[in-house]
A = this chain, B = another copy of it.
């Protein structure tokens, strides 16, 4: 794997590796003993992409169509895509005792969205130990719940599968109605949500938390992530509880107040990339759906197992806009200022994301006969690698599936990685006189 001989930029290589992994996954899922019934190539490709990008959108029912082998392929792709395919490469290098070159490090850096090259190797090792430990503990808890119901074999495998699916924010479940059967179950709600919230914070935040620094000494990034996650989850939970309280097909149909609260909590924290559902998404009120569109677009943390533009990108834009509105020049938060460079980067990420979403929705409205809102929901769910659906995934045309496959790919790699790997970097240094333009 000496890619210094290949004339590719780190971003291009990352894209290539993702692409090849998905193709291998597709091939494995096409094997006769991977499925209980023959499936179309496009559906195998869709499933492999959905697993590798930890999205969780499903064109066929994962639990019944795929055999144990097929499900193992899927869970392997999830672990591979979620923990970052590049960190595997680092581990292989480390295991073989080779030293890691700069170009490799940049690659990992991009895979993890890490900013400083120095800490990457250390990060990757800790990340692995930490992730596997969390997944293992969670699996034990889930086994307590599922082994009594499903028996040892199936119960342990289900605990294993859903623990990995949750920590990596894949949101894939082996039940056809996802986790709707456990809408009021405390163990499933707590274990699964803690897994994906932890995975969604991002590894740099987790490592800072692990080192038990005091909150005030933590980096600005970690503080923004922790406070932001807390606030956005609380607000979303209150909104969903209020909006759905009297909807007979969602909260209104649940027996106890506890079930309603669990369901509100779970559906509030899940759309920012996890994508599990304990309520029927298609039955939600359109106001709730609209709220979820925003949550899915924003997504989880940088260097996390999740997708979307990322919570910090969203917060940087909000802070920059507030700064402008208050007539100040410097974007300040938590006694630190944020460089214009970061604001520009956030603007670029959001704009490129919106542009791709716009084109995808536009094209889907041409290729598909489904109504507008489910298609918009599907595209943003794919971009945020969320995996929630209003039920159109299996009905998509081949063109529609290809568009969603592309959006999952884009969401996982990040819009900037993809675009910048294709754009020519221009290093001309001519300076031009500045001129005013009327805006707004």
Contact = CB atoms under 8 A, between A and B. Distances in A.
A426 B326 CA distance: 6
Interface residues of A, number: 82
A326 B437 contact: no
A141 interface: no
B349 A439 contact: yes
A432 interface: yes
A439 B224 CA distance: 11
A438 B312 contact: yes
Interface stretch (A74-82, A143-151, A275-283, A316-324): A316-324
A336 interface: yes
Contacts of A343: 344, 347
A340 B436 CA distance: 11
A327 interface: yes
B437 A309 contact: no
Contacts of A437: 220-221, 224, 312, 316, 338, 342
Interface string A327-340: 11010100111111
Interface in A368-424: 371-373, 414-416, 419-420, 423-424
Contacts of A416: 325, 440
Given A320-B344, A326-B425, A426-B327, A372 B286 contact: yes
Contacts of A424: 326
B115 A342 contact: no
A438 B202 contact: yes
Contact of A434 (B318, B339, B351): B339
Contacts of A336: 432-435
Contacts of A349: 439-440
A189 interface: no
A243 interface: yes
Nearest to A221: B437
B438 A287 contact: no
Count this chain's copies in the assembly: 2
A365 B287 CA distance: 5
A420 B224 contact: no
Given A290-B362, A351-B317, A361-B290, A432 B335 contact: yes
Given A220-B437, A317-B347, A352 B325 contact: yes
Nearest to A374: B372
Contacts of A362: 287, 290-291
A339 B432 CA distance: 11
Given A290-B361, A365-B286, A440 B346 contact: yes
A161 to B, nearest CB: 30
Contacts of A312: 437-439
Interface in A284-333: 285-287, 289-291, 294, 301-303, 309-310, 312-313, 316-318, 320-321, 324-328, 330, 332
A249 interface: no
Given A221-B437, A309-B440, A372-B372, 18 more contacts: A286-B365, A287-B362, A287-B365, A290-B362, A302-B438, A302-B440, A310-B440, A312-B438, A316-B437, A316-B439, A318-B351, A320-B344, A320-B347, A324-B345, A340-B340, A345-B439, A371-B371, A371-B373
Interface of A: 113-115, 202, 204, 219-221, 224, 243, 285-287, 289-291, 294, 301-303, 309-310, 312-313, 316-318, 320-321, 324-328, 330, 332, 335-340, 342-349, 351-352, 358, 361-363, 365-366, 371-373, 414-416, 419-420, 423-428, 431-440
